[in-house]
Each structure stands twice: as structure tokens, then as C-alpha cells.
A and B are shown apart, each in its own frame.
Chain A
Amino acid sequence: MKLRFSMALAALFIAPIWAQTTPAFVAPLAKESLLLDVATTTDGLIAVGERGHVLLSSDGHDWQQQQVPVNATLTAVTVRQQQMWAVGHDALIIASEDGGRSWQVQHYQPELEKPLMDVLFFDAQHGVAIGAYGLFLRTEDGGASWQREPHIELLDEEDIEYLQELKEEDEALYEQELGSILPHFNRLSHIGNRLYLAGEAGLLAFSDNQGKHWQRMGVDYFGSFFDISQAADGRLLAAGLRGNLFVYDDLDGWRPLATGMKSSLNSIVSLDNQQTLIVGNNGYLVWLNDDLSLTQTEEEKAVLNAVGFNGNIVAVTEAGVRFIQK
């Protein structure tokens, strides 16, 4: 009895720790840690990754880790001149107004047990953040407040009907189901006025009203997609699990491209020399111009994303920042 009581007491004391946030530890090895996204800024580059690591660099070689109030793993970053947003696990959204030097928490909900996977801003005020189990957040005030938006239109007919029945019968269960029935949302792309979405279980979709309503795109694949983006030559590409790469054209819809390997493709990077690079796990690099070629980095570490920078390609990998070459 006494034991139970003390355990309950312990639980009481442990629980608040979740709400407490630990600032990211400024570590000598942050540059060599698991980094998950990279973007160009007006002054150079920004990279984000595990343990709340945010790093800035003016040349891609020297990186300075910035003070961040939370040490949750950051999965994506987006840049609008001096304004920046980064999202990550524990449904964390942090923002900077000064080019990444100081960061404030805009959204943090560890009890959701869901990570955010991508963030995108249409202008200084309007933006969306997406994540696991169909987590979708929207802001109209530059991130001061974020509202959840369920997008059940991305489910198939049967699931939608089931949810609607549930909503009438049991509101609580409906909320619970809604939090887990949707696939993971992995990546957003804004091309022209159209917003694209890539996600789990063959999810590819587009929206013409900044993501308020979505329409699925048919594709003959049921595995996960990790990116949907425009190639250097303007074609739409989708990349996903086990080396799956698809190209879209209006006539035939999504058509597979043989990559010749079976590792996940994480990001599509459009380089300026009419060449597109698709980076993946195990150091696989798919180079796409008129034809397709495959290379692998020597250390075979997962490459998460890359950007063209001053004529070089700067990539983030599971072992930190790397310059890569064809």
C-alpha cells in the first residue's frame, strides 16, 4: 500500500518534468550530430537537427550553434529573410526574428506524443506546419497562435464514414481516432499557387487554397513518400521508401523511375545547373537531368537534405554537415 502511494507520488513529481523544457546543450559535436534539415539564409546557411541543435554558417565550413530554449529534436526549418521557423518532436515550433540568432517557443505540446515534420510560410503571417498522424497546424498571425486543422478529406470513403458515425455517437472516441487514423504528413511544397503534400501510405495530395482543402493524387504505390517537389527542369517528382521515385505528367499521372537501389529517398533538391539531386539513406544520391545516375557517398551515412550553395552542395547527414560531389 505504502509502495503504491509512493509510486503515485513519484508519478506526480515525474509528470511536471514533461512540461518543463530543457534548453539545448551547446555541444562541441553539434556540427557532427544527426542533422535533419538545411536551408539557405540571407547570410549563409542554417541547419537543424537532434537535441534542439540549430547551427548557422556563413560559408558551410564553420558552424555556430545557437541558443535554443528546448532540446527536442528539430526536423525541419523554413526561412523568410530574417524570419525563421523550425519544427520538431513534441509538436515543437520555435521562431526567430533576427536571422536565427535568438529563438522563442511558439508551440510545444509534448503530451500529444507527435512530431512535426515540416513547416511552410506563405507570407510573414500565414503558415502551416504538418506532422505525424495527420497533425496539421495553421497560423494567421506569424506563429503567435497555432490552430489544429483535421484533414479527413485525405482519408478514403470508408474511413470518413466511420469517423462521421463516431462523431455522433462518442465525441471523445472520435477525437482519439482522429488523432491516429490519419497518415503521417511528411513534406510540403509550394509550387506556383498550388500546395503539395507527401506522406505515409502512398499519400500524395495537392491544395489550391493554401491547404485548407486537399485532394489526393492517385499513385500506384502504398509505401511512404518523404518529399514531393519540383525538379530543376520543372517536372514534379515524388520520392519515398525503398528507392521509390515517381515523376508526374498531366497525361499519365505518376510514373515510376527506376533508381536501382532499395534505400529510402529523403529529399528532392533542385540544383541550379538544370540538375536535380535526390538524397537518401545509406548515402545514396540520385542525380537526375536528361537521364538518371546513382552514386553513393563513401561513408554511406543517411543524407537528409541538401542545398546548392556558392557552387557547392552542402548536405546534412546523420553524421553532420557534409559537402557532397557527384
Chain B
Amino acid sequence: MTRLIDFFELVIFRHRAWVMVLFGLLTGFLLWQATQLKLDAAFTKNIPLNHPYMQNYMKHQKNFGGANSILVSVCGRDSSIFNETFFTRLKDVHDQLFFIPGVDRSQVKSLYSASTRFTEVVEEGFSGGPVIPADFNPANPAGLKLVSENIVKAGIVGRMVSDDFKCAMVTAQLLELDPQTGEKLDTLAFADNLEQQLRGKFEDDKISIHIIGFSKMVGDVAKGAKDVLVFFAIAIAITAVMVLLFCKSLLLTLLPLLCSIIAVVWQMGLLTLLGFGLDPMSILVPFLVFAIGVSHGVQMINSVGKEVIAGQTAKQGAQKAFRTLLIPGGVALLSDTVGFMTLLVIDIGIIRELAITASMGVAVIILTNLILLPVLMSYVKLGEKYKARFANKEQRSDRFWNYVAHCSNAGVAKVILAVVALLFAFGWYQSEQMKIGDLHAGAPALHEDSRYNQDTFLITDKYAISVDYMSVLVETTASACTSFEIMNAIDEFQWKMENIEGVQSAVSLASVAKLINAGYNEGNPKWRVLPRNQQSLVQDISRVDTSSGLLNGDCSVMPVILFMADHKAETINRVVNAVKEYRLQYEREDLQFKLASGPVGVMAATNEAVSAAQAPMMLYVFAAVIVLCLLSFRSLRATLAVVLPLYVVSILAQALMTKLQIGLTVSTLPVIALGVGIGVDYGIYILSTMSHKLKAGMPVRQAYFDALKERGSAVLFTGITLAIGVSTWVFSSLKFQMDMGILLTFMFVVNMLGAVVVLPALASVFWYKQK
């Protein structure tokens, strides 16, 4: 090992200029690549595609559309819909939406679409027509009155017209692929079009436009994600000031910042090179890479600075620092990388992208901050002035470290460990109650007072529409909808599900057929049954078009759509379990109840995937950390001393999630892996110094004191810098970034405390003979 390091040292420091030229060229190339980086969001990336629910969802997506639709509610600000301005505007919105690329034109629906018809029961049977007649003129009060009557007859109040008659809805389905060009839907461009061409053009002081749907949500998230640049700037500024305070030299401040920025550039360039875009959900990663880069850079300048103060030249110091830090720094960064890579086991597109983005970024830091940085520093001239600034500092900090080193006294250690055990027990209890999934109404990625969520609340409030629905796909045989027995079975299933707490209402071909059957019998509610007579049943069902989404072409698949009170994980679980229980009893070869489609079906699958991934993810990330520690320390005791505090902190982080009502979701799941991966750095830096001395038989307290003197200030500084960097996310306009910010801040700070306080206490127990 030492030989290898010698070799590297020789090669690198002999050819310092070449190293810099190489890095310069690479940086130039990757910077150019990075400028090509696109924000990229796709619906399918957010869902666990291989989960059985999603397999069913994808299988039937063509027939029943997906969860990818868009709802546009046009509302009169002070008036009802029955006036000329409103109807003209509604028509404009309908026509405009029709022409926005990505919209399935056959599926644009509003009062103005030809398929919006009314039927009424008259003595001779049914009579009906389009809700808006061909000769409709909104300027004519008689025409408005006729339309208002037709709306009531058509039974579309609550769906196409709001309950208070102040809003009307235009809905559209989106095409995942452009039928002409075959290109994938550009969700962000689409969302931008909605904003510009609908809201921008048609919203004014009389009419308001409210838009919801997955693509709009992603658009808003992307827009919010761009705020990250501001946080990035703030974080760089704060970090710079902190580093300056720490090293008291402007040049030494700039170098680690420069190297960390180079790491970010490389990471973003590599992403483009590998054909990835940057997802709004993982936009924080470059940020994290920067913070990690700085923290390792600080270790480096700290080490070089100490050497220089001890009388070495900058080049000697840089070489020495390179030698001593390559192993602990490399191991720490490698364990970060491996920690992030464990996220690859989770079968959700954006988590995998996050894993790739983050692990690549951290791996790059090994090159920029462990190689480039010492090379750059070797050119620095640190004069007497610099040394003078640290003249008295040594003694002052020694006093402080001496105080901290008490942690490794047997008596103090016992107290510390007792407190940690108590905290662990409390954390364990709390973490068991951690909730899976999104706990709040509306789009969880966004804040409750965001425009998107306000629009969601308005639409769910004014219409009898729920965005929280789940479809159970009933798979049976061809023409099954003409069989009373099958339809009756679907109807009974639907009724049992409606009676599950959390299901507000439900609709299926069976329940619609019952309404139509009453319609055929003069609208008499006493006939609201499924007719046993097959001709009658066929007659009823023939009135339902496949575009209703209630049956496929040969009615071998019929969804039962369950509208839910909310999308809390407990609600979803209750309903999913009820479906599973029901099908245990009633499922047959020719009658299968398949989970699940619809937005809540997607959430159910995601929740299951996330909760199933949690345990293996923790297992892998800790396994990776343990293996790397064992390899570098070659000591079980040292490994335990690093890993145990780490584990306690990850449990406490879960307890914090319970306390703060942050659910385990696609965005919070990776946080623990990130936290563990980065948190292990502190322990590795401290113990790498200690373990040599302990092996040489030095008492624990002395070894710890020496380690603190050498690395302590850098560790404290790193923890605080990282924490300050991520804590700025708390002000993000995106809720998931706020959640991630809180959790990462917690993990960085508490892991640092764990390494400084708990690690020596454990060490004093493990090496109890070396007093």
C-alpha cells in the first residue's frame, strides 16, 4: 500500500504541470458538455415500473389512459358561467388546449366537445342532443338559458361544471409519444405551454384559470427547482466566509472552492455525456457534491497548513498531506460513492438517477480534491504572516481538545454510552411509527400554499372530482359485460369497496349500467339494477362508450374506479388490503381483480416499493461501510466504533421523520443512504489517525487527543459547513427539498457529534486495556 502511494506521489508531484494541464483540458471539455445539460422529467421515471401494480397499469394503459391527464378549470372571478365573456373564454381555452402539442386531440373534453350530450326521459323513451347546440350564441340570453338547462339534464354538474356554476372544466389526456414524430413527450415544455398559452393568454381580472395534472405539477417543480441556483450561490458564499475564517488565507479559501466547483462541472458534464438529464427531483445533488467537495478540501488545506506552520515548504506540506489523506479521504469518498450506489437496488427511475448522479459526483471528488487540490496547493507561498496568524492558536485549541478528549475517559464514556443507549431506545420506538408515503393533501412535492396545490384544492372543492382515485382492473373473458353473473360480481365487489373507510365513492361499468337500466325504464329508480335479461343488459351497456374508460373494446377488462378521501398511506393500505382480502375469497380464473391504476394506484405501488426497499437499502449501505472500514482499519473494534454511532444516528433520523410528519417517500428514502454515506467521513478521518497510535499501544485518551489536534478542527468545520449548506434548502419553494434539507442537516450535524463524542467513548470501552 505504502509503495503504491509512493508511486502516485512521485508521478503526480513530478509532473505537476502536466497534471494541471490534463485537469484543465478535461474541465474545459466537461464544462462545454455541462452547458448542454437539460432538465428532464418523465412520468414513468417516478414510478416503480416493475412493481406488479405498475405492470398491470402499463398493460392496460392504452385502453384506459393513464394517470397522465390534465384538468383546466376556467372560473368566473365574481360571476357565474352564464355570460358571454365566460363562454367565449371557455371556447378559447378548449381550442387552445386542443392545439398544444402532446395533447391527445380526440380526448379533449369540455362543454364544447361534441361528445358532451344530455339525455332526458320522455314518454316515448329517451331524447337528447349536444349540451351546446350548433347554433349557440353566447350573446343571446335565451341560448344561455337553454345551455343551463341542458347542463342539468346532462348530469355533468360536479364534473364539467362546478357545483356552484362558477367554473367549467376542460380536460385532456396526454400522449406519451408524439404520433407523428415518435418523440417522447417533453413534459417541461408542455407545462410551459400550459402556463404561457392558457394561463398567460386567458387569465385576467374577470376569469381565472386553474390547471392541475402530473405534467403541470412537474413543470412547477422544475420551476421551483431553479431556485436552487440561488441557494447554491448563498451556500457558496457562506462556505467561502467559513473557510476564510478557518484558514485565514484568501488563496487557501479559493482553492478548495475551485476544486469543488470543478467536481460539480465534471459531474454535470458526465451526466450529459452518459445521456442523462437532470431531474428536478435530483437537482440538489450538485449542491451536495459541492458541499462534500469543500469538506474534503478543508481537510486538505488543514493538513497542508499544519505542515507549513511546522516549518515545511508548501510543496513538502502538500506532498505530505496527499500521502496522509489519500487513504482516509479515498476510503471516505469511496464509502460515500458505495453508499449512494446502494440506491440502485430501488427500482424507481428517479432514485436510480439520483444514485448515478450522486455516486458519480462523489467519485469525481476523489480526483479533484485528493489529487488536483494538493497539486495546486504545492504552488502556494505561505509566508511568515500566515504562520503568525496561527501562533497562539495552537495552545488555545489544545485546551479545547483536551476538554473534548474527556469523552474517552472511562467514567465519562459510560455516561455518554448510557445516554446514547437511551436515545437509541427512544429513537427505535419512534422510528417504528414512521409513516410510509405522502402524509399531506395535494401534490406532496410542493408546499400547500403553492399555486398548484391551491388550484388542486379549488378544483376538488368546487367539483365532485377527486384527484385521489385508484382503479382496480377487473380482468375477465371477452364479452363478459353481457353476462349478468360477471357484472353482478363486479357490482358486489364495488359495493364492498365503497364500504371501506377512506373510499368516498366508486364507479364501474356495472354501476353505470344500473343507472342506464333505470333510464330505459322511464328513469324509475326502482329499476336501478342489473337486468338478468341479457338483451336488456346488452342494451344498457351499448350506451357506454369505451372512451368512458369503464371498459375496453371487447369488455374483457373493466376497471372499478375507487375515489378516495385522501392519499395517506394508511388509507391506501386499508383499501389495498381490502381488495386483496376480497379477491382471496372471490377471485376465479375468469374474474380477476388486478391492482391498480390511477394516481393512487401509482402511489400504492410506490409506497410498497419504497417500504420494501428501505430495509435492504439500509443493509447494503451499512454492509458497504463496514467492509470499507474493515479493509482500511483491519480492525473489528475500529469498524464498530465508526459504524455504531452511525447506526444510532440513522435511527434517530427516522424518529425525526415521525416527529416532523415527514413520510418515507421517493424523495426522503435516499436521504438516509446519503446521510450515512457522508456521515461516515468524520469517523473515518478521526479513527484513521487514532488507529495507528492505538495499534502502537498508545492510551486511548492520548490517541484521541492527538487525532483531535490533527483533524478535530477540520471535522467540526466540515460538519458545520455541510449543515449550513443543506440547511438553506429549508427555504426552498419545493416541499421535498425542504424535507431533504431538514433531514440532511440533522444527519450531518448529529453524525459529526457522534464521531466526536460517541466514537471516543466506544473506543475507551473497546480498548479498555490501553488506559
Contact = CB atoms under 8 A, between A and B. Distances in A.
Looking at chain A, what size class is its interface with the partner chain? 20 to 34
Interface stretch (B59-67, B260-268, B492-500): B492-500
Contact of B529 (A17, A73, A262): A73
Interface stretch (A54-62, A203-211, A222-230, A249-257): A222-230
Interface in B104-130: 120-123
B499 A264 contact: no
Contact of A304 (B523, B525, B533): B525
Nearest to A51: B495
A34 B525 contact: yes
Contacts of B485: 14, 17-18
B16 interface: no
A152 to B, nearest CB: 23
A4 B751 CA distance: 71
Interface residues of B, number: 22
Interface in B470-489: 483, 485
B532 A90 contact: yes
Contact of B524 (A25, A73, A226): A226
Contacts of B122: 242
A36 B123 contact: no
A255 to B, nearest CB: 19
Contact of B532 (A28, A113, A318): A113
A268 B485 CA distance: 36
Contact of A242 (B123, B525, B528): B123
Contacts of A302: 525
B533 A113 contact: yes
Contacts of A264: 121, 522-524
A227 B573 CA distance: 47
Interface in B46-93: none
B526 interface: yes
B123 A222 contact: yes
Interface string B495-536: 110110000000000000000000000111111110111000
A281 B525 contact: yes
Contacts of B529: 50, 73, 89, 115
Interface in A4-23: 14, 17-18, 22
Contacts of B527: 115
Contacts of B526: 36, 73, 75, 115, 117, 304
A144 to B, nearest CB: 26
Interface in A283-326: 302, 304, 318
Nearest to B483: A14
Contacts of A36: 525-526
Given A115-B526, A117-B526, A242-B123, A29 B499 contact: yes
B496 A241 contact: no
A90 B488 CA distance: 13
A28 B525 contact: no
A1 interface: no
Contacts of A17: 485
A29 B523 contact: no
Nearest to B123: A223
A304 B527 CA distance: 12
Contacts of B499: 25, 27-29
Given A27-B499, A29-B498, A241 B522 contact: yes
Nearest to A226: B524
A266 B529 CA distance: 17
B529 to A, nearest CB: 5
Nearest to A28: B499
Contacts of A262: 120
A191 to B, nearest CB: 23
A142 interface: no
A272 B710 CA distance: 97
B487 to A, nearest CB: 13
A99 interface: no
Contacts of A242: 121-123
Contacts of A90: 532
A110 interface: yes
A234 B123 CA distance: 29
Contacts of A281: 523, 525
Contacts of B120: 262
Interface in A252-277: 262, 264, 266
A27 B495 contact: yes
A113 B531 contact: yes
A224 B19 CA distance: 96
Interface string A23-40: 001011100001010000
Contacts of B121: 241-242, 264
Question: Which interface residue of B492, B496, B525, B533 has the most chain A CB atoms within 10 A?
Answer: B525
Given A29-B499, A264-B523, A110 B123 contact: no
Contacts of A27: 495-496, 499
Contacts of A34: 525, 528
A79 B732 CA distance: 67
Given A29-B498, A224-B522, A281-B525, A241 B123 contact: yes
Contacts of A14: 483, 485
Contacts of A113: 531-533
A28 to B, nearest CB: 5
Contacts of B498: 29
13 contacts: A25-B496, A25-B499, A27-B495, A27-B499, A73-B526, A90-B532, A113-B531, A113-B532, A115-B527, A115-B529, A224-B524, A241-B123, A304-B526
Interface of A: 14, 17-18, 22, 25, 27-29, 34, 36, 50-51, 71, 73, 75, 89-90, 110, 113, 115, 117, 222-224, 226, 241-242, 262, 264, 266, 281, 302, 304, 318
Given A27-B499, A242-B121, A264-B522, 4 more contacts: A22-B492, A25-B495, A110-B532, A115-B527
10 cross-chain pairs, A with B, having the tightest CB-CB distances, nearest first: A223-B123, A27-B499, A113-B533, A75-B526, A113-B532, A302-B525, A73-B529, A29-B499, A28-B499, A89-B529
